[in-house]
């Protein structure tokens, strides 16, 4: 409706798991979701390419990521490599979602073609019965029952 696009995992009609959300204003969020909100590791990229990454809680960045590899379990930051792993997982989930929509489109086309073929077969069957009835008419113009 508003131009935003989400591709990724869903649960109970909500963004849940990993996915990529592209906003109409060219911003995007790639990462983990929980019940429709940014939750867990992820990266928000602005249209000017600036980023905010780290751990998200209820849609808000609460622990920013750091490049510091000396203290990988730092209580004041999330290692950026872990965020990048979450971003990769989100991109994989988005790619799977795109593939599913392509398959759905092909299935819908196949079903439509099968329905057209079934309708054509029904029309042909009705015409054949009508033609058969037309050939089995007695001299008074009444149809002869076929048994």
Q: pLDDT tens digit string along 5-57?
A: 999 998 988 999 999 999 999 999 999 999 999 999 999 999 999 999 999 99
CA distance 60 to 122: 59
Q: Going from the N-terminus, what domains does the chain have, and what CATH number goes with each?
A: 5-109 (2.20.110)
Q: pLDDT tens digit string along 82-118?
A: 888 888 988 888 888 776 667 677 777 777 877 888 8
- pTM for the model stands at 0.57
């Amino acid at each position: 409706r508003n131009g935003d696009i989400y591709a990724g995992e869903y649960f109970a009609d909500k963004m849940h798991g990993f996915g990529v959300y592209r906003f109409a204003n060219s911003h995007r969020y790639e990462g983990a979701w929980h019940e429709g909100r940014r939750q867990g590791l992820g990266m928000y990229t602005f249209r000017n390419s600036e980023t905010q990454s780290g751990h998200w809680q209820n849609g808000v960045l609460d622990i920013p990521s750091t490049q510091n590899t000396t203290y990988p379990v730092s209580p004041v930051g999330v290692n950026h490599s872990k965020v990048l792993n979450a971003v990769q997982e989100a991109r994989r989930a988005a790619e799977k979602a795109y593939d599913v929509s392509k398959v759905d489109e092909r299935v819908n086309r196949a079903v439509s073609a099968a329905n057209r073929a079934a309708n054509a077969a029904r029309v042909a069957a009705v015409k054949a019965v009508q033609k058969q009835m037309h050939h089995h008419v007695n001299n008074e113009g009444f149809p002869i029952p076929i048994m």
